Amino acid sequence: MTHQQRFKQPVVDSDDGDGQRGRDSVIIEYDVPSVMRDGVTLRANIFRPNTAGQYPTVLVRTPYDKNVQQPEMDPALWARRGFQVIIQDTRGRFASEGRWEPFLFEAQDGYDSVEWAASLPTSNGAVGMAGASYCGNVQWLAAGAQPPPLAAIAPTFSWSDARDGLLSRGGALELGLALYWAVENGFDVIARSVKSEVEADSRGELLRREWDQLAERGYWELPVNDVAILRRHGIPTLTGIRPIDDDRVADVSTVEHRNVTVPVFHTGGWYDIFLGGTLRNFTAMRALGHQSRLMVGPWSHDVHRDPIGQRRFGMLASMDGAPSHPQGDWTEAQCDWFSAHLAPEEVESQEAAPIRIFVMGRNYWRDEQEWPPERAIRQRWYLLPDGDLRPKTPLDADADVEFEYDPARPVPTIGGHGVPVNDYTAGPFDQTAIESRGDVLVFSSAPLVADLEVTGEIRVVLWASSSAPSTDWVARLCDVHPDGRSFNICDGICRADAADGWRRYEIDLWATSNVFLAGHRLRVHVTSSSFPRWDRNLNTGNQLRAEYHVAAQRIGVGGARASYLDLPVIEQDSA
């Protein structure tokens, strides 16, 4: 079926959820049109209760096909709870008209779509927005335009500053995300550009084969701004058809908190690629005095139930909670949030803690009043030349350790904060396979004699020197179990553009909530790559060429150049 053949008149269907019609059944309208201010028509599916009335309306704007249910929302379930849910294809995607240019039209289209949703005869006039990832960012952009009917938003797994968590992190390109995302969205680009179904099928099959080969070919291509699979199929990247460092795209997709005045329900995951942005969005909105709620689970970007990666967190880790234990039920919390803000006269006001986090290690949900927790005590753990990691006391004498970084042999990404890039799954994974490499420095504590809770923002302060004019520094915190498995907790990267000579770097590892249990050990990795999550620093000072050099790296581990891990520790009597 070609793109032109998809369009049809709105169709009304019903879904009763249990095979029977009745008061709990849901009316579904497909391909309902709405016209934007420039004449472009966007199309949506609408789910609403099968009873006469006007309902609080939740709008989800997606580039991922409105006909494919996203794991974060079951629209029929929400409709049975009394909401009208609209799932709309964004401009240039699937059934909607226009040209696909990521981010550039989302503010104005979001404004127009909110106005349209509020004007529907089945709407009570109050509109909320929901959705994850890109569907979360479009909420921020629409809210910044301030459409009057918009009463609340609920962005899930969404970034804040596009230059620190979307397009790049610490100066390094988010290669795994950018290339995977571009190819994933390329199938609809091809379908809209061809003239026949045969051509669409053949080109789509070629793209699928090349997608499967990203780990062996695509990620390795140099220069990084000229990847053959994108050029051959005419696929836009995260920055559209523009260069990877285009300021316009970064500017338009960065959240402007001062322009957002509606209440916000923020959802994040300790292993989500946008965790840092989610936490920054929450603290920024709270600082502006706006009502905000935060919920952070042990989730990665696409896995929201136990197990996450190779760690088991129990039934409570599921995004939808556990039987007879609603504390971690994210869907219930979101429905309550929207009920309070879209139909406040119909619900009883309930005071909920502004923050709910999942404490890994002990595996339970806990309410907090502020983020980061003010009761956390900062504690330094020093990197020592013999590979020890020691609290509070650095080595007196100057000392350093060395390794070589070869861009042709980068350290492979194993788990972490990512998206499900081919062969590189996000979440906590055993890191022992890379800990034996000569280009990964490993620093481990003694086994803990008591539980140690780390909740809050984490950083590594690194004294480092390189033979290269530009290089990368990567730091990672791991939880080492008594059986030797070493699970990543969080990591970060810093691109050093003037790396020669000793310099002090602060590597932001974002945040976590994890109890390192008695008998476990803390472990820190220091290296210069995590590929393909981040692009390889070529050690030349020019990332847009194919040449690279091997760099000699030195890390200070004593005296005036003592490197350390900076942790927020929660005393057990205050947990």
Burial state string for 22-48 with b = 16 or more CB within 10 A and e = fewer than 16: eebbbbbbbbbebebeeebebbbbbbb
Whether cis (ω within 30° of 0) applies to the bond prior to 223 is: yes
Choosing from 164, 272, 329, 535, which is the catalytic residue? 272
φ and ψ of 450, to 5 deg: -145, 160
Pair type for strands 26-35 and 11-15: antiparallel
Choosing from 233, 257, 301, 341, which is the catalytic residue? 301
The token pair that represents 495 in the structure block: 């691109």
CA proximity to 561, closest of 382, 324, 389: 382
Q: Is 387 left (phi over 0), alpha (psi -120 to 50) or beta?
A: left
The token pair that represents 132 in the structure block: 């994850």
Helices (H) and strands (E) in the chain, counts: 12, 27
Dihedral sign from CA coordinates of 159, 163, 169, 174: positive
* DSSP string for residues in 397-459: S--EEEEEE-TTSPPBP-SBS---BTTB--B--B-HHHHTSTT-EEEEPPPPSS-EEEEEEEE
Q: How far apart are CA 250 and CA 136, in angstroms?
A: 16
Q: How far apart are CA 279 and CA 511, in angstroms?
A: 9
Between the two ends of the chain, the Cα-to-Cα distance in Å is 57
Burial state string for 423-453 with b = 16 or more CB within 10 A and e = fewer than 16: ebbbbbbbbeebbeeebbbbbbbeeeeeebb
The CA–CA distances, whole Å, from 473 to 348, 355, 397, 560 equal: 52, 32, 23, 19
Q: How far apart are CA 310 and CA 306, in angstroms?
A: 10
Given a contact cutoff of 8 angstroms between Cβ atoms, the answer to whether 48 and 26 are in contact is yes
The contacts of residue 366 (CB under 8 Å, 6+ apart) are 356, 357, 358, 359, 513, 575
Q: Is 98 left (phi over 0), alpha (psi -120 to 50) or beta?
A: left
Choosing from 25, 34, 113, 133, which is the catalytic residue? 133
Q: Kindly state the DSSP code that residue 360 receives in the 8-state scheme.
A: B
Q: How far apart are CA 329 and CA 342, in angstroms?
A: 20
Whether cis (ω within 30° of 0) applies to the bond prior to 307 is: yes
> Which residues lie across from 493 on neighbouring strands?
474
CA 57 to chain centroid: 26
> What angle separates helix 186-193 from helix 197-212, to the nearest 10 degrees?
160
Q: How far apart are CA 139 and CA 156, in angstroms?
A: 10
Whether 272 is a known active-site residue: answer: yes
Active-site residue set = 133, 272, 301
